[in-house]
Amino acid sequence: MSNSQRLEGKTCIITGGSSGIGAATVRRFVEEGAEVLIADIALEAAEGLARGLGNTVSAIRCDVRLEDDVRRVADTALRRWGHVDVLVNNAGSELNRTYDQTTVEEWDRVLDTDLKGPWLFCKHVVPHMVKAGRGSVINISSLNGLVGFPLSTAYGSAKGGLVVFTKDLAIELAPSGVRVNCVCPGVIATPMMERWTDLMPDKGEAQKMLRGVMPIGRMGTAEEVAGAIFFFASDDSALCQGAVLSVDGGFVAQ
């Protein structure tokens, strides 16, 4: 556990913070002294996490696909704090299906959650950062946003779009004092990955295959990804603008 408190006094919104990488990021930010608002569609789980971490963490229900929900989260944070220092766009929706078997409803769910959601949060939070002359936006994409995989046309399109959205917004905001960067996790042991292996005929073989994807020979942990997200939230990343950080055990280095 860190004792550095390097986010002391920072106010942070983390979407999809009730489990997996989001929950690990909430915990890391709290350890570093931040105040955190978890925005999650799974409100009960988010509130449970918040209760266990103390009075610097709270939760609010949010479907990131809905502009009214996103606006309500932004308004809540600004009324409470007056300013948001860090926005982590982590909420995501996965899909493992061939391109021709994907329904319009499934495509829209994934694209709206994984790409439109971050845009909506930036739309309603970033202008206040610009006005203050400071802030850090961290978009959580994926290895699927950098390279292609089968059964991933919807998810890969959304996550690839998020990488380019990060770069475009970073250039647009470069003179403003607001930083925009992106983290691309590889194969990480999270509930999302557990759901994927549950769909496979042989779960053990699927897990073995996933471990083999990572050159280091194992899946990553949510806490390791949270460390990369923390870097972009901290002042150590002051010169990073539009950076895309692969946290993938060496996969894209091959």
pTM confidence score: 0.94
- Give the pair of three-digit tokens for residue 51: 């209760």
Q: How confident is the model at residue 1 (pLDDT cuts 50, 70, 90)?
A: very low
Domains and their CATH numbers in the chain: 11-186+221-244 (3.40.50.720)
Give dist(CA 226, CA 62) in Å, integer.
21
What's the pLDDT tens digit per position in 27-55? Answer: 999 999 999 999 999 999 999 999 999 99
What's the confidence (pLDDT) of residue 208? 73
As annotated, the active-site residues are: 155
| Sign of the torsion angle spanned by Cα atoms 189, 18, 36, 62 | positive
Indicate the pairing of strand 86-89 with strand 57-61: unpaired
What's the pLDDT tens digit per position in 162-193? Answer: 999 999 999 999 999 999 999 999 989 886 76
- Give the pair of three-digit tokens for residue 153: 């046309």
